[in-house]
Amino acid sequence: GAGGSIGRELCRQIARRDPAELVLLGHGENSIFEILLELKDDYPSLALHPVIADIRNAERLDQVFREHQPQVVFHAAAHKHVPLMEINVVEAVTNNVLGTNNVVQAARAHSVERFVLISTDKAVRPSSIYGATKRLAEMIVLHAARQAHGAFTVVRFGNVLGSRGSIIPRFKSQIASGGPVTITHPDMYRFFMTIPEAVYLVLQAASMENGGETFVLNMGEPVRILDLAEDLIRLSGLEPQRDIEIAYTGIRPGEKLTEELWDEGTPLVPTLHPDIS
């Protein structure tokens, strides 16, 4: 998932830390090409290997792992749009579940030292196809940790600000076109964090892992989406419901009003980092 919003930022922050080599594996050639160009400009001496591959193709993954022998794998490849996955169940399952299993098996077969799955608050008591596939992906990774006694781990967090297809770019575009700004429900709350902040904490968690942990990032207090929309309208120099209308469209299939970062009753254990449990 090196071409996605989280994947790209992982590449940037890892490149800064001077790795021996960095393999950028992704399904979309354009997004891999873009991050490759950016990293080449910023880190001309870094050994970069762009790989176009689909994680559903186990044979291709095995070939890539055999060729590059990665020591650390960050798995951020997933279909993530909740309403889209409700109507594309086969794609969600083959990519997020079977694809994850393929990556885990390739990592085990080629003695990867550390494996980190990027997961989501939607995997907690899932109400959507997307959430259920990510919960299964977590279970596959944690099962591998138990079987292989290796450093296979999960890092779980909520929404990131400004990722592709996320809410803020959408609101900004709706405001720019004069409204309305569309919200599913007035009482919809979500956890938010910036992409660089989330990725920094993912790398911190990766350095602490022994294997089999689910790390949860401290996302702060959940934000009401209505408040976020009103703030963005005001920051654009306009007044909500006077200059820009706010319209409610109804909760979409699979969506919850509020998200959770861990199962109720699961004990949270602090780590050496105050923002990671």
Residues designated as active site: 122
Closest CA to 2 of 144, 207, 199, 261: 199
Per DSSP, what are the bridge partners of residue 51?
Answer: 25
With a CB cutoff of 8 Å and minimum separation 6, the contacts of 23 are: 2, 49, 51, 64, 68, 70
Residue located via tokens 């990027």: 118
With a CB cutoff of 8 Å and minimum separation 6, the contacts of 78 are: 1, 95, 96, 118, 133, 134, 137
Answer left, alpha or beta for residue 193, where phi above 0 means left and psi between -120 and 50 means alpha.
beta
Structure tokens at 7: 């994947």
Answer left, alpha or beta for residue 207, where phi above 0 means left and psi between -120 and 50 means alpha.
alpha
SS (H, E, C) 211-270: CCCEEEECCCCCEEHHHHHHHHHHHCCCCECCCECEEECCCCCCCCCCCCCCCCCCCCCC
Using an 8 Å Cβ cutoff, are 194 and 134 in contact? no
